[in-house]
């Protein structure tokens, strides 16, 4: 059969047939084991009789986890099935990559320039793209109760529950990228001529309703915690479904999709709040909650109970230490964040914008106090010292718990070659260390098995806080933000440093600020920028930037700087004794060691601008420019060509070059 037609047809691939992997699959790809399903390319066709067998149905479910999460190796990554960090690189968190969407030298409007995530038409092969994944979820949901009546009812329920959850995740990312898309909830016959399967482009509101319906089904069918955690931990749960409802409804209530967002009585905010509170109550009763009671626990959260139930992890991706690609998938984060002298990839340099962002130790903003950026490491929020590593910071390894590193450089003359300590050439005096393992094996950093917490309980509390803020309930906003800060040890004075919030706009800004700190480098920042339309201050957003008292991202840059020797010198300016400093936030001498570091800096270093701008295109410095039509992509030329009845999104040109007419805010 030739499938040279609409990409939507991929999920209709021959009624009563499904492509299935020929392999004995005893391990699932998202939870359940450190070893994952091997990615293979040999397929055969099975009909729905596969669902008469519990083992084979289990293989089918496991394969679906593989389709969804096989590429999720780094917490900065997002978008189901795609999992690249392109969106994180459009935020203040990471400098240096000026992709098309923030490149001021480009203007994207053509359908050929739109995001290709939706998929492309294919021939007889099946590709792992959004509607393929939806089609496979539909197939099980539709067939298992028809042909699998001999299977235990409890098994059929959890099988369907996982498919409803996965389908919801896929539609959520489609809506976050395009706005409304066609909704297909049944496996249909493939045909290039059958007009009855030419599904229309649903509105964003209709898509959100379908996503919530699926999540409700998942929450009803799945357990809050699987009964055999040793083999099922990591599988999707009712707890995750309830929490995801909060995330989805918060997104639907936000300015990008909700032109009435500034109305405190808008029903979308109330629905999102109700979902958040419902999830909080149910999850707390089931044993979920904030992990630990101090910053040390917060910093160790992702590694302290590796591959075992963690009360904060509402959605967790289990990863493997196995070095054989066919036996396991590894977390790429550890290698990325470790500097050269750890045998790592070089480190993820912290932008100055992020270093200057974190609160001080009492929770107040740096801008409200006598913060000195030269000594960025002094008197900071306890989370700061678990998010970043800087010169002298204790950052252990498997063989050396007290290992530290340094970030500085020197040169013999104004034009002489620059040298970096231990070849740690970074654009910042600090690098990201959050979510790394202090017992990492530096001989095998590329094979890290540290799990990724895709959704944490802390995010649920932040969602609730934001809903209260939007509704004008400032008091409850502060209560929920305080829960986040109290857990890491910030004192209660002045509302845990939050201060007195004057109105709902100040409360909303405080929520977005806290998300930047608590969820830093967890792949969430872009979605906050997008749903609040914070790149600019256009009227279409309701002037969110201005109302929240923020500055637009457009026109800014990501900046860094060096610690450079004050004087020209041909050799390392520091002695071994200088580098004997060991800064451990959990040690009694923490403040003393920080003071030593400050003295070393004052004696021997100076803050020096980067040799060239971090954000540049063709070696020319640029500032960020994210155009208004980029908040949601248009449909690609391939999609429109194969689906000529689908309207193009406003702000983009259709296949023929005419302006789009689809309003994604409906």
The answer to whether 308 touches 317, Cβ cutoff 8 Å, is no
The mean pLDDT of 323-334, rounded to a whole number, is: 85
The tokens for 171 are 């539609």
Q: Are 460 and 246 in contact (CB under 8 A)?
A: yes
Which residue, 217, 196, 205, is CA-closest to 137?
217
**How large is the average pLDDT for residues 83-110?**
96
Residue 382 · residue 403 · CB < 8 Å: no
pLDDT exceeding 90 applies to what percent of the chain?
Answer: 84
Does residue 29 carry a pLDDT above 50?
Answer: no
The pLDDT of residue 44 is above 90: no
At 411, phi and psi to the nearest 5? Answer: -150, 150
Q: Does the pLDDT of residue 3 top 80, yes or no? A: no
pLDDT at 45 over 70: no
State the pLDDT at residue 191.
57
E-only strand ranges, 140-278: none
Q: Residue 457: pLDDT above 60?
A: yes
Return the percentage of the chain with pLDDT > 70, whole number: 91
Question: How confident is the model at residue 24, as a pLDDT?
Answer: 25
Alpha-carbon Rg for the chain in angstroms? 25
Q: Above 80 in pLDDT, residue 6?
A: no
Look at the block and give the residue holding tokens 């390894």: 397
Each residue's pLDDT tens digit, 547-585: 999 999 999 999 999 999 999 999 999 999 999 999 999
Give CA–CA dist 214/221, Å, rounded: 11
- 512 vs 193 pLDDT, higher one: 512
Who's near 628: CB < 8 A, 6+ residues apart?
Answer: 536, 538, 540, 651
Q: Which alpha helices (H) appear in 179-332, and where do they start and end?
A: 204-221, 229-232, 238-253, 267-285, 295-304
Candidate from 26-35, 169-178, 517-526 with smallest mean pLDDT = 26-35
Please identify which residue in the block is written with the tokens 């609409």. 6
Q: Which range is least confidently modeled, 3-12, 47-56, 541-550, 640-649?
A: 3-12
Q: Which residue has the higher pLDDT, 43 or 389?
A: 389
Q: What is the mean pLDDT of residues 365-381?
A: 94
pLDDT at 21 over 80: no
Chain centroid to Cα 190, Å, comes to 34
pLDDT at 304: 86
User: How many CB atoms neighbour CB 112 within 10 A?
Assistant: 13
* Listed range (2-16, 299-313, 480-494) with the worst mean pLDDT: 2-16
Residue 341 has pLDDT above 60, yes or no: yes
Asked whether the predicted pLDDT for residue 163 surpasses 70, the reply is: yes
What b/e sequence results for 467-489 when a residue is b if at least 16 CB atoms lie within 10 Å of its CB, and e otherwise?
bbbbbebbebbbebbbbbbebbb
Express each pLDDT in 433-454 by its tens digit: 999 999 999 999 999 999 999 9
**pLDDT reading at 402 higher than 50:** yes
According to the model, what pLDDT value does residue 190 have?
A: 55
Distance CA 158, CA 221 (A): 6
Q: What is the CATH topology of the domain spanning 7-83+109-317?
A: 1.25.40
Domain boundaries, the chain: 7-83+109-317, 333-448+561-609
Our CA dihedral for 641, 642, 644, 646, rounded to 10 degrees, sits at -110
Alpha helix locations (H) across 417-554? 457-470, 474-487, 493-496, 504-518, 525-531, 544-547
The total of other beta-carbon atoms located within 10 Å of residue 438's CB is 15
Q: Over 70: is that where the pLDDT of 537 sits?
A: yes
Residue 468 is encoded by which pair of tokens? Answer: 């209260």
Report whether 264 contacts 469 (CB < 8 A). no
Q: Is the pLDDT of residue 264 over 60?
A: yes
The DSSP bridge partners found for residue 349 are: 431
| Residue-averaged pLDDT of the chain | 91
pLDDT of residue 124 exceeding 60: no
How far apart are the C-alpha atoms of 436 and 332, rounded to whole Å? 10
Residues 6+ apart with CB under 8 A from 474: 468, 501, 503, 504, 506, 507
């Amino acid at each position: 059969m030739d499938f040279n037609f609409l990409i939507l047809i991929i999920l209709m691939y021959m009624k009563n047939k499904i492509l299935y992997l020929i392999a004995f699959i005893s391990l699932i790809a998202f939870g359940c084991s450190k070893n994952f399903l091997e990615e293979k390319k040999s397929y055969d066709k099975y009909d729905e009789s596969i669902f008469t067998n519990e083992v084979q149905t289990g293989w089918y479910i496991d394969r679906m986890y593989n389709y969804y999460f096989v590429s999720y190796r780094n917490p900065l990554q997002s978008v189901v099935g795609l999992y690249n960090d392109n969106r994180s690189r459009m935020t203040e968190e990471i400098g240096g990559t000026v992709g098309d969407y923030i490149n001021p030298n480009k203007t994207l409007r053509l359908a050929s320039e739109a995001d290709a995530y939706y998929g492309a038409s294919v021939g007889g092969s099946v590709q792992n793209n959004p509607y393929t994944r939806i089609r496979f979820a539909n197939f099980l949901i539709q067939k298992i109760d028809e042909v699998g009546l001999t299977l235990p009812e409890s098994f059929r329920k959890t099988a369907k529950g996982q498919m409803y959850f996965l389908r919801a995740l896929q539609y959520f990312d489609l809506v976050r990228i395009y706005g409304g898309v066609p909704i297909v909830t049944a496996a249909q016959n493939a045909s290039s001529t059958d007009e009855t399967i030419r599904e229309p482009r649903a509105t964003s509101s209709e898509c959100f309703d379908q996503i919530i319906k699926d999540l409700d089904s998942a929450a009803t069918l799945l357990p809050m915690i699987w009964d055999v955690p040793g083999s099922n931990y990591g599988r999707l749960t009712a707890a995750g479904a309830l929490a995801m409802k909060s995330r989805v409804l918060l997104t639907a209530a936000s300015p990008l999709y909700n032109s009435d967002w500034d109305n405190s009585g808008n029903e979308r905010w109330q629905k999102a709040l109700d979902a958040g509170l419902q999830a909080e109550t149910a999850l707390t009763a089931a044993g979920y909650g904030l992990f630990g009671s101090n910053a040390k626990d917060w910093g160790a959260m992702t590694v302290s109970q590796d591959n075992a139930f963690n009360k904060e992890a509402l959605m967790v991706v289990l990863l493997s230490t196995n070095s054989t690609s066919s036996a396991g998938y590894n977390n790429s984060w550890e290698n990325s964040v470790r500097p050269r002298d750890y045998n790592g990839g070089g480190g993820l340099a912290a932008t100055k914008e992020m270093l200057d962002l974190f609160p001080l130790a009492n929770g107040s903003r740096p801008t409200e106090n006598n913060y000195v950026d030269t000594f960025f490491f002094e008197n900071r929020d306890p989370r700061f010292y678990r998010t970043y590593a800087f010169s002298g910071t204790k950052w252990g390894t498997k063989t050396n718990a007290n290992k530290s590193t340094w970030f500085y450089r020197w040169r013999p003359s104004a034009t002489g070659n620059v040298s970096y300590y231990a070849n740690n050439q970074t654009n910042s005096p600090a690098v990201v260390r959050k979510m790394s393992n202090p017992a990492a094996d530096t001989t095998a950093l590329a094979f890290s098995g540290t799990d990724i917490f895709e959704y944490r309980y802390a995010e649920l509390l932040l969602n609730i806080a934001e809903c209260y803020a939007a509704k004008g309930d400032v008091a409850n906003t502060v209560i929920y933000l305080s829960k986040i800060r109290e857990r890491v040890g910030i004192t209660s004075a002045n509302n845990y440093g939050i201060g007195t919030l004057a109105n709902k706009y100040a409360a909303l800004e405080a929520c977005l600020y806290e998300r930047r700190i608590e969820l830093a480098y967890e792949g969430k920042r872009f979605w906050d920028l997008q749903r609040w339309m914070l790149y600019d201050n256009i009227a279409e957003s309701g002037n969110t930037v201005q109302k929240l008292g923020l500055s637009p991202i457009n026109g800014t840059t990501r900046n860094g700087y060096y610690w450079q020797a004050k004087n020209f010198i041909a050799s390392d300016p520091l002695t071994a004794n200088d580098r004997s400093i060991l800064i451990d936030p959990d040690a009694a001498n923490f403040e003393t060691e920080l003071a030593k570091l400050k003295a070393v800096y004052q004696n021997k270093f100076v803050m020096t601008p980067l040799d060239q701008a971090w954000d540049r295109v063709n070696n020319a410095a640029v500032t960020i420019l994210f155009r208004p039509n980029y908040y949601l992509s248009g449909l690609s030329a391939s999609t429109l060509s194969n689906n000529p009845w689908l309207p193009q999104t406003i702000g983009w040109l259709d296949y023929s070059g005419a302006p789009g007419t689809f309003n994604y805010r409906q």
